[in-house]
Amino acid sequence: MVTAIVLMSVNRRRINDLAQELADLEGVSECYSVGGSYDLVALIRVRRTEDLAELVTGRMAQLDGIERTETLIAFQAHSRHDLENMFSVGL
């Protein structure tokens, strides 16, 4: 499983529509409108890196109104009560 957090600054007039269009994309598990220096945050969970490339540089890149993105690709997930201390996200 590949996990990525996509931070987006967007055209303010499209914020609600964009949030819904993003949430509707396969591979986007959650999409939040947020306070702070970004407008939207999308959590992406896909099977393979190929899916991430196809989603971020393919389908997301075609949406209207995304002005700036920063994609944070997870290379390790840490979770509570984790006996082995850490496990890879299997990216």
Residues that bind its own copies (CB under 8 A): 2-5, 7, 12-13, 15-16, 19-20, 22-25, 28, 30-38, 41, 43, 48-50, 52-53, 56-58, 60-62, 66, 69-82, 85-86, 88-91
Residue 64 beta carbon to its own copies: minimum distance, rounded to whole angstroms: 10
DSSP category for residue 55: I
Residue 55 beta carbon to its own copies: minimum distance, rounded to whole angstroms: 10
Identify which of 65, 72, 60, 75 has the alpha carbon closest to the alpha carbon of residue 28: 60
- 83: Cβ–Cβ under 8 A, 6 or more apart, which residues? none
